[in-house]
Chains A and B, each alone.
With several copies, the nearest count.
Chain A
Amino acid sequence: MKRSTIAGVVLGSVLGLALGVGAYTFIYAKGASYLTNDPKACVNCHVMQEQYDGWIKSSHRSVATCNDCHAPADFVGKYSTKAQNGFWHSFYFTTGKYPDNIQINERNRKIANEACRKCHAEIAEMIEGPANKHSAADTTSCIRCHRNVGHLH
């Protein structure tokens, strides 16, 4: 068999299994509540407890929930992101295959970073100057300095 085919088969079976456990987790671990905006949804997984505790102590607890920062603004983006993250979180959680010190992936870091602008557009404009000649991709990273506003790390 060619490498790719092997990979294909392996991936296929893994996903099959994953869907199974994933679904199982979703019901058992109240995974469905993942789709709401309630931070409690996130701490159904003790894995998220650390961030939840941090959020409670953060300057944002009363102004921003997990999803305000971790889900894109637009409806579709929001639910597709949650579907993806929700699925993978369930998968990793169930199989236990995730690092002790969870690290945000690039995609989600970008989402969190852009989330700031949903509420702090003026600030963003102020510090980037009246006009931003730089490409949309090359905006100021807020979390470079404010990575702790949502929850202390």
Chain B
Amino acid sequence: NILEHKQEAKNPFFRVVELTDDTEDPAVWGKNFPLQYDAYLKTVDQVRTKFGGSDALPRTPTQADPRSIVAQSKIEEDPRLKKMWSGYAFAIDFREERGHAFMLDDQTFTGRQAKPQPGTCMNCHASTYVANKKAGDGDLVKGWEQINQLPYAEARKLVQHPVGCIDCHDSQTMALRITRPAFMEGIAALKASQGVTNYVVNKDATRQEMRSYVCAQCHVEYYFMGQEKKLVFPWAKGDKVENILAYYDEIGHKDWTHADTGAPLLKAQHPEFELWTQGIHARSGVACADCHMPYTRVGAHKISDHHIRSPMLNINKACQTCHHWPEEELKTRVETIQSRTHSLRNLAMDALMDLIDDLKGAKAAGVSTNELAKAQDFQRKAQFYLDFVEAENSTGFHAPQEAVRILGESIDFSRKGQNSLRAVSRPIATAAK
């Protein structure tokens, strides 16, 4: 009852250890904040939802890869993905993502390491705040820029933990804090594209915005810039799919060359933040943490659930404060949105496969590089638009209409690409134009 509550509630936590800006080990923070720490540890749980969560598949550990459990392979679930990414590391190994506890291992042991990877990878898979500061003798940005340039194996030696308390919190106030230079620069560029200049996120962001920004340090599209392998979020023209593609086209960036078609392609990666910004929830001020870290009662305490996971596994707390529908109904609403996204995603995938076949055929038939170039550019566009939704992990929920709009445009690009190859040999069709 409320009276008891008040008693207990008086001191929500006990400061048993002194935390400093160099305390990296979450276990130490856990001494002061046992409730958050216990929840944080739960991210090892693996539960599957219709389109999310993850399966826990046992495997026999090897010297090279000691993991005894991994998540299901997406490229085995849908082999079309191998053809889409042919020639790129993702065609070797790409799995469903799982909880934060695994981020460092999954990166260290992914089959993609077969291709040499830079230290930059570390930014989003480890507790890097202290490491970056150390490497830069106190200068966070300098240290980060150095670690980016190390070979992965070297950088790996500098970190011990997956994302930890210090990566999201100020050790003295516990306030949220942005620790990733790439996001500081990225969000400033995005704001600038919206007319807001000199944006300093840790100074200018509201508390509510920070509840999404801490996530947006990693759950975003990115690329490595230049020799320095600098981590950059491509938002200078805005963060809608067309803005990002325009940005890449302008600087002439490509992630890889498609093995079968020779097209210079882009790999989209987990643009959760970007898609969310186009949705009704972002518009309504609903933050990532509202759904993925909903407040939860533990005894008399009300804390943010640090067991970050699919809200479908926690509908009551994640959704029902705002939506007074039964859990089953809310689940069905999400799955309806996701199934619709998935059905058009499959059409877009088939269209891209057809374009790749036609391009292969045309190359084989010795069509001039000039003609090929046009179709290859269509592949670049279709691939990036489709991948933007495919790589985004909510299966469209974060912005249902926008996700499907993007897939519709991807279909148009793929099919136009096919036409561009065929038209040339069909005078009458072009004549009719």
A76 within 8 A of B: no
Closest to A145 in B: B321
Interface presence of B347 (CB below 8 A): no
For B175-190 the 0/1 string (1 means CB < 8 A from A) is 1000000000000000
Residues of B with C-beta under 8 A to A125: 12
A153 to chain B, nearest CB (A): 7
Which residues of chain A are near B295, meaning CB under 8 Å?
100, 127, 145
- In this complex, what residue of B is CB-closest to A102? B320
Whether B110 is near chain A, meaning CB under 8 Å from some CB there, is: no
A25 to B3, CA, bound (A): 10
Q: What is the interface size of chain A, counting residues whose CB is below 8 A from a CB of the partner?
A: 35
Residue of B with least CB distance to A126: B12
Within the complex, the shortest CB–CB distance from A60 to chain B, in Å, comes to 12
- In the assembled complex, the Cα of A94 lies from the Cα of B206 at a distance in Å of 38
If A25-B2, A127-B295, A131-B175 touch, whether A147 touches B324 (CB-CB below 8 Å) is yes
Instruction: Give A132-151 as 1s and 0s: 1 = Cβ < 8 Å from B's Cβ atoms.
Output: 11100011110011111000
User: Would A99 and B175 be within 8 Å (CB), given that A125-B12, A126-B302 are in contact?
Assistant: no
CB within 8 A of B2: which of A29, A103, A131, A153?
A: A29
Bound Cα distance A130, B303 (Å)? 12
> Which of chain B's residues has its CB closest to A96's CB?
B1
Q: Mark B45-62 against chain A: 1 for CB-CB distance below 8 A, else 0.
A: 000000000000000000
Given contacts A101-B317, A130-B13, contact A153 B324 (CB under 8 A): yes
Note all chain A residues with C-beta closer than 8 A to B321.
101, 145-146
Within 8 A of B (CB), among A85-104: 93-94, 96, 99-101, 103-104
User: What is the 8 Å Cβ interface bit string for chain B, positions 315-333, against chain A (1 contact, 0 not)?
Assistant: 0110011101010000000
With both beta carbons as reference points, the residue of chain A lying nearest to B174 in the complex is identified as A129
User: Chain B's nearest CB lies how many Å from the CB of A111?
Assistant: 16
Q: Specify which chain B residues have a CB less than 8 angstroms from the CB of A129 in the assembled complex.
A: 173-175
Q: Is A75 an interface residue (CB 8 A)?
A: no
Question: In the assembled complex, which residues on chain B have CB atoms less than 8 Å from the CB atom of A104?
Answer: 324
Chain A residues lying within 8 Å of B67, measured Cβ to Cβ, are: none
| Contact yes or no, A133 B316, CB < 8 A | no
Q: Is the CB of A131 within 8 A of B324?
A: no
Q: Does residue B340 face the partner (Cβ distance < 8 Å to A)?
A: no
16 of the cross-chain contacts (CB-CB < 8 Å) are A25-B2, A46-B9, A99-B320, A122-B6, A122-B9, A122-B10, A123-B9, A126-B302, A127-B303, A128-B207, A130-B174, A131-B172, A138-B206, A144-B285, A146-B321, A148-B324
Which residues does B use to contact A, with CB under 8 Å? Answer: 1-3, 5-6, 9-10, 12-13, 15, 170, 172-175, 206-208, 285, 290, 294-297, 300-304, 316-317, 320-322, 324, 326
Closest 5 pairs between A and B when the two form their complex, measured CB to CB? A129-B174, A122-B9, A101-B320, A131-B173, A133-B175
